[in-house]
Structure formats: structure tokens, C-alpha cells
Structure 1
């Protein structure tokens, strides 16, 4: 049985959604998180996929297979997707699982919240946290 909780706060002036996750999540819990994440992203004033996300997982416990798989699928979703994604972590198995699930996502991992926020807010036009595919006539490809 999963025992988890999460909160999501938005800072519209910074185009930032701050997630705090704790405990062990089942797949159904991740589905609830996705619904609330979508509400939070819609509350931001930035264009879709131009917002920032700070995810504090310092209170998460190691995830079971269903929760780990659900988080992996969440991080693979193309829409909606944060432009920059930073995780606050501690050294534990749950953080290692997050790093595995976010592999290839362009996420950064921090032990300090101020450093994470500085990285998120460092650039007016930060690099995308996912690959950009350009279609066209093939010139320059």
C-alpha cells in the first residue's frame, strides 16, 4: 500500500511550479499528481512548455515497481513539459531512482534549493530540457 503526499505551489511571475513529494507512490498516486501538475501548469502565465519546474524529492522513499514505472512514464511525456527541470535530492535510493527515470530528460539534480532555483532562473531563454526535432526539406540535417 502506497503512503504518499504532495503539494504544488506556483510562482506565476517566475513561470515556476514547485513540487514537494514525500513517501511512496503507487501508479494511481502518480495519476493524481499528473492531474494536479496540469492544473498548476495552466495557472502559470508562460506559454505551454516554457515554464520551469522545481521538484523536491528529499522526503520520498524508495518506490515500488509500479510507482517507479509511472514516474518514468511521466518524465517521458512530451506535453506538457517543463522547459527546465530541477530536482532537490538527498543521497538515497529514491534519488537514484529519480536520476534513472529522468535519464535523457535534461534535468539537473541539487542538494541545495537556492542552487536549484538559481540554475532554473539563470537564463532568459534557458535551453530546452528535451530534444528539439526540426522537420523540413532536410537541408542542414
Structure 2
């Protein structure tokens, strides 16, 4: 399965919704980076004040090159979100994700509803 992704901005909630599936190549990563740029341009909040929900339940195990690329993507200060939530399935993808987000304050969830509730909660409620 080749990579599939969608990135949608919800400016009224300062929210970026991402869905990623399949196996990513370098070309897929470049397309993803451009789509992320376009989606972030739709936000109305100050830089780094948005929250991000990333559903990776349908993602396949990635090459080490792509894990490293995702780590770099997550560390880009221009797109860094105030809160970052991942919806993950019970697969090895969770292990790869843990390595990629090791330097980020992020949480993993089993469903989108719980993840979104955490993202949109006040800072005190989310702690």
C-alpha cells in the first residue's frame, strides 16, 4: 500500500487534523510537507498556538529513513503545535511513533474523540 494522507485546518478551533496511512516514500514526505504548509496557512491563531490531531491507525511500519524524516518534521519550530495527539492502533507503528516523538510533548490515544477532547481542553484540564 502506498501512502495516503489528508491534512485539514479548522481555523475556528485552532486545530489541524491529519490522517496518515500506508507506507511513506521520500516523494510522499515532500507532498505531505507541502500539504502541511498549505493547511497551516489557513489558521488564524498565532504561530505555535494551534493543536494537532494525527490519526495514524492505518499507517504501516516505516523505513528508518522515514522515521527519521518524521522526527525532523515534528521538530520543525515553525509548525510546532501547542498540543499534539496521535490516534494509534495496537501495532508496531506505536513503537516507531514513540521513537519519532521522543522529544515532543505528545500523547497517544485509541480513538479520535478522546484525542480531540484532550487537545481542546484547557491547559489545566489537560494536565
Tell me if both proteins adopt one fold, taking TM over 0.5 as the criterion.
Answer: yes
Larger Rg: 1
What is the CA–CA distance in structure 1 between the aligned matches of 2:26 and 2:51, rounded to whole Å? 24
More helix by share: 2
Q: 1:90 to 1:25 in 2, by over 3 A?
A: same
Output the aligned Cα RMSD.
1.8
After TM superposition, which residue ranges in structure 1, 4 or more long, deviate above 2 angstroms? 124-127
Q: Equivalences for 1:28-47 in 2 at 5 Å? A: 28-47=27-46
Task: Give how far 1:104 is off.
Answer: 2.0
Q: Given the two structures, how large is their TM-score scaled by the length of structure 2?
A: 0.91
What is the CA–CA distance in structure 2 between the aligned matches of 1:26 and 1:84, rounded to whole Å? 27
Q: Given the two structures, how large is their TM-score scaled by the length of structure 1?
A: 0.83
Q: 1:13 matched to which residue of 2?
A: 12
Structure 2, gaps ≥5 residues long:
none
The secondary structure found in structure 1 opposite 2:3 is strand
Deviations 1:25-71 (A, max 9, x none): 12231121111111111101111111111000000000012211111
What is the CA–CA distance in structure 2 between the aligned matches of 1:125 and 1:8, rounded to whole Å? 28
